[in-house]
Amino acid sequence: MALIVQKYGGTSVGSIERIANVARRIKSWHDQGHRLCVIVSAMSGVTDQLISQAKQLNPHPNDREMDSLLSTGEQVTISLLAIALHAIGVPAESFTGARAGILTDGTHTKARIRNISPERVLASLQNGNVGIIAGFQGQNDEGYITTLGRGGSDLSAIAMAAALKADVCQIYTDVDGVYTTDPRIVPTAKKIPVLSYDEMLEMASLGSKVMQARSVEFAKKFNVPFEVRSSLTETEGTLVKSETPDMESVVVRGVSLDRKQAKITITGVPDKPGFASRLFRALADAAINVDMIVQNISAAGVTDISFTVGSDELDKARRAAQPVITTLGATGMLAQEGIAKLSIVGIGMKSHSGVAAKMFESLAAAGVNIQMISTSEIKVSVIIEESLADQAVRAVHDAFGLSA
């Protein structure tokens, strides 16, 4: 008999029939005598719809109110799932993030978990209930509801698994594992049986939205192995765990694509100390994640700085950068949407050469221009035009022989 944490994502609970299906699956584990703590997302599309409704009323909605709004999606699902379980004779109790003891910092819309006090959940499991916890949400010191960033139910699940010292953590979704690339773009992509935390972390950070990046970071930090599986089939999924020596034999494990990228270029920057520090401090203070940064060589005492941000933060980034530009006297700011980041990931890159060259050759052959490049020990990323992204992914995926 094990303590099992399961997480069901938006599609898996996307309709009344799907919720009933999840309830039946939970029942079969419960009938085997396991203790179950289940984390659920909002029904698919609900979070997006709430964001769009808020933005129709106010293009710059207050982050605290957004958290209060967005957390409602998950609360619908926990109650419906508990009701569905009661209907088939399974005792179950639903918990908001706050009641489950999930305490976060105060960074509304992307709060970090500080501490979990799982006593109430444990007591409920002890009484024979299935505990059903609203993913994506917590509360801060002052009792305000916070949310954990898009896709944050993954983080709720991993963090609960750590806090409860669960024996198993299963992430149920609409694919039966992590693939060499998004199977919606390349139908011949292969399922990866085992991945290291670092590879999963890079893939997730680089746009493979099958797992939220911060949840993988948490799993790595607290060593919480987890399995990504399908909520519709019984097939074995992908196990994500700490690195083992044999994992290095594969050079490129996967190809990731992030379409939600935007580029800002500051032109005519005075070429003297202090501009970059002021600019990136202003962006950091506005809690904006800056990704790639390129500064070109200055010709006549001025230079250009380009950087990328998530497209949903473009507006915020422009507003944070504007005062620095005005004060320090750069000439202007250009914002570009319609770009994407394509990356290859694999821990085997540490010990192989020529990997980047091969990637660039395959992009050239596919007629895809590279706008920016960045590398780390286990990844190579390029910024390309979004409209060419799918064909670029296929070309790179083929070049590294990743198809089934």
Q: Which residues are near ligand ASP by CB under 6 A?
A: 9-10, 41-42, 47, 73, 135-136, 150-154
Q: Which of 5, 158, 178, 250 binds ligand ADP (CB under 6 A)?
A: 178
Phi, then psi, of 257 in degrees rounded to 5: -135, 130
Stretch that binds Mg ion, among 148-156, 176-184, 225-233, 269-277 (CB under 5 A): 148-156
318 lies in the binding site for ligand ADP (CB under 6 A): no
Cβ 9 to ligand ADP, closest distance in Å?
Answer: 2
368 close to 395: Cβ distance less than 8 angstroms: yes
Contact present, 156 and 163 (Cβ < 8 Å): no
Q: What is the DSSP string of 2-54?
A: -EEEEEE-TGGGSSHHHHHHHHHHHHHHHHTT-EEEEEEPPPTTHHHHHHHHH
The CB density around residue 241, as the number of other CB atoms within 10 Å, is 18
Closest CB 106 distance from ligand ADP, rounded Å: 25
DSSP assigned state of 179:
B
**b/e map 249-265, b = 16+ CB within 10 Å:** ebbbbbbbbbebbbbbb
List Cα–Cα distances, 403 to 87, 186, 363, in angstroms.
44, 8, 17
Residue 184 binding ligand ADP, by CB under 6 A: yes
- The least CB distance from residue 264 to Mg ion, in Å, is 27
What angle, rounded to 10 degrees, do the helices at 16-31 and 63-87 form? 60
Contacts of 44 (CB under 8 A, 6+ apart): 9, 10, 11, 13, 14
Task: Compute the least distance from the CB of residue 191 to ligand ADP, in Å.
Answer: 8
**Closer by beta carbon to ligand ASP, 10 or else 138:** 10
Q: Which residue's CB is nearer to ligand ASP, number 232 or number 333?
A: 232
Q: What is the enclosing helix (H) or strand (E) of 199?
A: helix 197-205
- x/- binding map, residues 235-274, to ligand ADP, per CB under 6 A? -------------------x--------------------
**Binding-residue pattern over the window 21 to 50 for ligand ADP, x denoting contact by CB under 6 A:** --------------------x---------
DSSP bridge partners of 294:
306
175 binds ligand ADP (CB under 6 A): yes
Binding-site residue total for Mg ion (CB under 5 A)? Answer: 2
Q: Which residues pair with residue 145 across a beta bridge?
A: 139
Tell me the window of 64-72, 182-190, 194-202, 366-374 that interacts with ligand ADP (CB under 6 A). Answer: 182-190
User: In whole angstroms, how close is the CB of 176 to ligand ADP at the nearest point?
Assistant: 9
CA distance 242 to 224: 9
DSSP strands (E only) in 174-301: 194-196, 226-230, 238-241, 254-270, 290-295
Strand 302-310 vs strand 168-173: parallel, antiparallel, or unpaired? Answer: unpaired
Contact of residue 184 among Mg ion, ligand ASP, ligand ADP, none (CB under 5-8 Å per partner type): ligand ADP
Q: Which of 378, 151, 380 is nearest to 260 (CA)?
A: 151
Q: Which of 5, 6, 12, 85 binds ligand ADP (CB under 6 A)?
A: 12
Would you count residue 345 as binding ligand ADP (CB under 6 A)? no
173 binds ligand ADP (CB under 6 A): yes
The β-bridge partners of 257 are: 342
Asked if residue 280 lies in contact with residue 292, where contact means CB atoms within 8 angstroms, the answer is no
Closer residue to ligand ADP, CB minimum distance, 101 or 151? 151
By beta-carbon proximity to ligand ASP, the closer residue of 94 and 153 is: 153
Residue nearest to ligand ADP (CB): 9
208 binds ligand ADP (CB under 6 A): yes
**Minimum distance, C-beta of residue 152 to ligand ASP, in the bound complex (Å):** 5
| Interaction between residue 151 and Mg ion (CB under 5 A) | yes
* Contact call for residue 152 and Mg ion (CB under 5 A): no
Write out the residues near Mg ion by the rule CB under 5 A: 9, 151
* Interface ranges with ligand ADP (CB under 6 A): 9-12, 41, 151, 173-175, 178-179, 181-184, 208-210, 254
